[in-house]
Amino acid sequence: MTILVETHREIPKLCHGQIAVVMTMGALHEGHAELMRVARECVGLDGTVIVTVFVNPTQFGAGEDFAKYPRTLDGDFKMCEAEGVDIVYAPDALDVYGTADISALPASEMLDAGRLGMILEGAARPGHFGGMLTVVSKLQQITGAQFATFGEKDYQQLVLVTRMFADREVPVQVVPVPTVRETDGLALSSRNRYLAAPERALAGLIPKAVEAAVAAAQDGQGAAIAAGLEVLSKEPAIKVDYFVVTAPDLGPAPTSGPARVVVAVHIGATRLLDNAPCDLGAPA
């Protein structure tokens, strides 16, 4: 049976065995369902799977409308129930942060995402990753989870969370889960619902561009980037924010060896992300 709780004090008495947490802001889709399945694999039938549904105000920046973020708790709960989740924790800011007035939070309570939090998505959304890391840390403490599943679709988030727990020596295993995709390869995202039909058709070029970059990576970083941008250039309505090849930890790309293709674009008002691993060959 899946139980909905709204306060953290209810959680400890409901837990049994090892605990895995899936942290979400709601508006759940099949990608989240896969995170739940992997969480169950981590702890087994005797363990506890917790899904948190919390639209975190500290990771919204200027121009990002916190009030308009979709809130679909009834549907989210039904998905969790179908996936055999034990606890759905849907708190308010007061329960998570100890205050309903986020502006009153002292700066000392916010985690610093460092240099890695200021590049790529961090450059486009200043302060976002500090807010994200802060709530991830708090939710892990609240749930007492030994496992936390995170999707590779939000790759920079995954890298930052993994590093944060390691640096703070928190005994939790971050479990990466491969990106779940729609039939044309588009990465599943809560943002996809904002795409009008013509925009959704264009979005199918994003995974094709990533695939082209991965295929060309054998000829080096420059060839990979050029191949991906060539695909996206077919549609002027796709505005590229960045299309890069980095090391797996998002540092500078190696001359050869394992690397990561990472891309962000705008289609209309919607920002879409994708990424994939690749193997760089030395340029000819």
User: Annotated active-site positions, please?
Assistant: 32
User: How many CB atoms within 10 Å of residue 204?
Assistant: 13
CB-CB neighbours of 142 under 10 Å: 20
